Chain A
């Protein structure tokens, strides 16, 4: 804990359902009691029946001080309930819990361009974001994205994902049949044969573009929690 010379030994703060009292246990007991008295006298009837949390920071072994302040607050100022701060989880567990439960996407501004309809020959979609297209991409059409390209339909045009140089980008299509594909700086030509109507995705592995069946080698299956992109 950081101590400043003139830091107040007792601080009060209003929290959700009550009052949060920060005590500095390194100060003498009588100083703390006087300070608490001073604050609660000022509060007058506001203190009556209030929920009070006494926070002594990371310091341990001050149970007698806690009991003393508790009994004084209840007897003298008629507060409702006095508790110690809720126990903290260990850091990694807490992070996982938070990611699992905190619904971080509530605050997330989307970086995805979502489009509906057919992209025809001669039309070009150019964006710095990820692209999701509900529809087909015809031969002769072109899609250039700063992130991933996802086509919920037949992809038969030319695509460049991760432009200009992001090789972690992927290209996914329900029917994967592009004329040419580029991820980051790596280019590959489309297959000569028309693809079967299976969902496939392309990503960069060892410096070249690899196209795999999405249903058997789903790259996101092992992610521990959903992450907003």
Chain B
């Protein structure tokens, strides 16, 4: 069976595309799939650091597209998770070195070798975005509950529809406490504007930063809320579409309730 190419995109930078890509890829591999994660952010390579594989890079995606090496040579095997591979980006080139035709050719090879190919798209909607979505079968749009991120995601959704892709939404970095206080949009607000299928809600989690900086997979940490949310998303992408989406809830602490009762806090 042919593999499926899923592009992870957002329009806006810094909303968690790279984290989502690596986490979903790792979680899909844990489900028993053969997974390749491709970093399409040519010139601003990050995914290798987040996955802790930067010192093993020999070839990159530009080498593959330009025919300097085979896909197998560029794919770095992850030592902790079986069947997980990374094809890194080039740090020295810029986005114009890739052509859509070249990417499509490599995509065909990747489909025959892997069950899932997760592509990490760069921020923006220019050449790099074009190259990442040209051969995609599915698209995931990452959005944080910020007005600016929602607007950019909305733009990207329009562009994905124009390419006959039916994007699915992941709302990242939800802080239930701030939603309750009205300081942040809720995922319902985001969904109201974007109105596409939701595939997962990911709560704010400090462990994401630690895991990114140390290069350890987030989904292997059982105490990470975000990691667990990404594993759920991977299960939904792997065919368990009926898996209910967990709403991040704000649990008020004992002390908070007590002090509220005695009028010490609002």
Contacts and interface: CB of A to CB of B under 8 A. Distances in A.
B152 A121 contact: yes
Interface in A142-162: 156
Task: Pick from A121, A123, A140 the residue with the most CB of B within 10 Å.
Answer: A121
Interface string A126-144: 0000000000101110000
Contacts of B150: 139
B198 to A, nearest CB: 16
B151 A121 contact: yes
B193 A122 contact: no
Task: Pick from B150, B152, B158, B195 the residue with the most CB of A within 10 Å.
Answer: B158
B157 interface: yes
Interface string B170-205: 000000000000000000000001010000000000
Given A139-B147, A139-B150, 14 more contacts: A120-B154, A121-B151, A121-B154, A121-B155, A122-B154, A122-B155, A122-B159, A123-B158, A138-B151, A138-B154, A138-B193, A139-B151, A140-B154, A140-B155
Contacts of B155: 120-122, 140
A140 B147 CA distance: 11
B102 to A, nearest CB: 27
Interface string B142-172: 0000010011101101110000000000000
A70 interface: no
A156 B151 CA distance: 11
Interface string A93-120: 0000000000000000000000000101
Interface string A156-188: 100000000000000000000000000000000
Task: Pick from B147, B154, B155 the residue with the most CB of A within 10 Å.
Answer: B154
29 contacts: A118-B195, A120-B154, A120-B155, A120-B157, A120-B158, A121-B151, A121-B152, A121-B154, A121-B155, A121-B158, A122-B154, A122-B155, A122-B158, A122-B159, A123-B158, A136-B193, A136-B195, A138-B151, A138-B154, A138-B193, A139-B147, A139-B150, A139-B151, A139-B154, A139-B193, A140-B151, A140-B154, A140-B155, A156-B193
Contacts of A122: 154-155, 158-159
A156 B157 CA distance: 17
Contacts of B193: 136, 138-139, 156
Nearest to A156: B193
B147 to A, nearest CB: 8
B129 to A, nearest CB: 13
Q: Which 8 pairs, one residue from A and one from B, show the smallest C-beta to C-beta distance?
A: A121-B154, A120-B158, A122-B155, A121-B155, A140-B151, A120-B154, A121-B151, A138-B154
A173 to B, nearest CB: 15
A195 to B, nearest CB: 14
Nearest to A154: B192
Nearest to A194: B189
A121 B150 CA distance: 9
A159 B46 CA distance: 40
A83 to B, nearest CB: 66
Interface in B28-82: none
B89 to A, nearest CB: 26
B194 to A, nearest CB: 8
A28 to B, nearest CB: 82
Contacts of A123: 158
Interface in A26-69: none
Nearest to A122: B155
Contacts of A120: 154-155, 157-158
Contacts of A138: 151, 154, 193
Contacts of B159: 122
Nearest to B196: A118
Contacts of A118: 195
A37 to B, nearest CB: 79
B26 to A, nearest CB: 32
A171 to B, nearest CB: 20
Contacts of A140: 151, 154-155
A121 B193 CA distance: 10
